[in-house]
C-alpha cells in the first residue's frame, strides 16, 4: 500500500466526482426534481371588472407564467358550468400533460388531472361558486398538498 498521494490522481478523482455529481443532479432535475419544484400558477382577470358584476373574459385568462390558459364553458342561461384549463406550447405540455393538480378557487379546492394533450375540464356544478370567484385562482401540484414528492404521470 502506498501512503503518498499523487496530486494528478487526486485532481482526476475530484474532477470525476464533480462530473458524476452534476450528471446525477441534472438527471434528477429532468425527472422527479422538476415535478417536486413546480410552483403554483396564478390567474388574475383584473381588466374584466366593469360597471356591473364580474364576467369571465370571452378570450379567457392566461396564467402568470404563460403556461396555462383558462376558459369557462357556460350553460344555456349563461352561467359558468365548467372551467377548462389548457397547457400552452411545448413548455406548458412538458409541465402539465398528465399532471395531477389542485385548483384553489378562494377557499374551495378542487382537484383534477391534465390529459395527455394538456387539457383539464373542472366541473363547477355543486361547488357553490359565483362568477366573481373565477376572477383570481391558482393551480398547483396535487402531490404538494398531500406531502407526496415526485411525478404522478404514470
Q: Is the pTM of this model over 0.75?
A: no
Taking only the tens place, the pLDDT of each residue in 99-149 is: 999 998 878 888 999 999 999 999 988 788 877 788 888 888 886 544 444
The confidence score (pLDDT) of residue 50 equals 57
Given this model, what pLDDT does residue 1 score?
62
Instruction: Write down the domain spans for the chain.
Output: 1-37, 39-144
CB contact set of 122 (below 8 Å; sequence gap of 6+): 82, 83, 84, 85, 103, 110, 112
The residue to which cell 413548455 is assigned: 91
CA distance linking residue 98 with residue 121, whole number of Å:
13
Give 31-88 pLDDT, tens digit per residue: 655 554 456 777 777 654 556 677 778 888 888 888 999 999 988 888 889 999 999 9
DSSP state of 131: G
Amino acid at each position: 500500500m502506498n501512503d503518498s498521494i499523487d496530486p494528478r490522481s487526486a485532481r482526476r478523482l475530484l474532477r470525476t466526482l464533480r462530473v458524476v455529481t452534476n450528471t446525477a443532479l441534472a438527471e434528477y432535475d429532468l425527472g422527479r426534481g422538476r415535478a417536486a419544484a413546480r410552483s403554483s400558477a396564478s390567474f388574475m382577470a383584473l381588466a374584466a371588472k366593469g360597471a356591473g358584476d364580474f364576467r369571465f373574459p370571452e378570450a379567457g385568462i392566461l396564467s402568470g407564467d404563460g403556461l396555462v390558459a383558462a376558459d369557462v364553458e357556460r350553460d344555456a342561461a349563461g352561467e359558468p358550468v365548467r372551467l377548462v384549463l389548457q397547457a400552452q406550447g411545448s413548455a406548458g405540455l412538458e409541465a402539465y400533460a398528465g399532471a395531477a393538480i389542485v385548483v384553489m378557487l378562494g377557499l374551495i379546492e378542487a382537484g383534477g388531472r391534465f390529459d395527455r394533450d394538456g387539457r383539464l375540464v373542472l366541473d363547477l356544478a355543486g361547488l357553490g361558486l359565483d362568477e366573481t370567484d373565477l376572477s383570481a385562482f391558482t393551480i398547483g401540484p396535487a402531490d404538494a398538498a398531500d406531502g407526496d414528492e415526485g411525478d404522478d404521470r404514470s
